[in-house]
Amino acid sequence: MIKRLIDWFRKENDVSLDAPIGAEAIFSLKLKDLTIGELRFEENVWHFKYSEEFKVKADEFYTITGFPDLDKDYTSSFLWPFFKVRIPGIKQPAIKEILEKEDISEDEVSLLKRFGLRSIASPYILES
């Protein structure tokens, strides 16, 4: 009984959402008309790097949490929390309905493409 309760309240985004082998995607992170950087998924690795446009104006903006170095090409086998929060819990009935209706795979790349454009928690736009 307690295990059921714990599972019920477990954050849905903790579910493994591995992308299919060979999946690729490119996203542009923007703040209004300014391109902040590029998020890519290729060969099962996530990459993030700041744009040259942002680097020129970096003294006017804060860097993104978790990405302090403007010149680094960040890589990870896991999607960073800054981007992952854009993916809704896939156990929600309304989200399940959208996934079924639009025939969307339950993986981070597909979910980020479908739901990642805007977030109430962030002023950034993530275009695919």
Residue 8 in domain:
no
- For residue 105, give the amino acid letter: S
Residue 10 in domain:
no
Sheet containing 45-50: which strands, arranged edge to edge?
Answer: 74-76, 45-50, 34-42, 25-31, 125-127
pTM: 0.80
Is the per-residue pLDDT at 67 higher than 60? Answer: yes
Specify the residue for token string 């309905």. Answer: 97
What's the burial of 39, exposed, middle or buried (CB within 10 Å: 0-12/13-18/19+)? buried
Residue 6 in domain:
no
Domains held by the chain: number: 1
Residue 52 in domain:
yes
What is the extent of the structural domain holding 32? 20-127
Q: What is the mean pLDDT of residues 22-45?
A: 93
Residue 24 in domain:
yes
Residue 114 in domain:
yes
Residue 9 in domain:
no
Residue 84 in domain:
yes
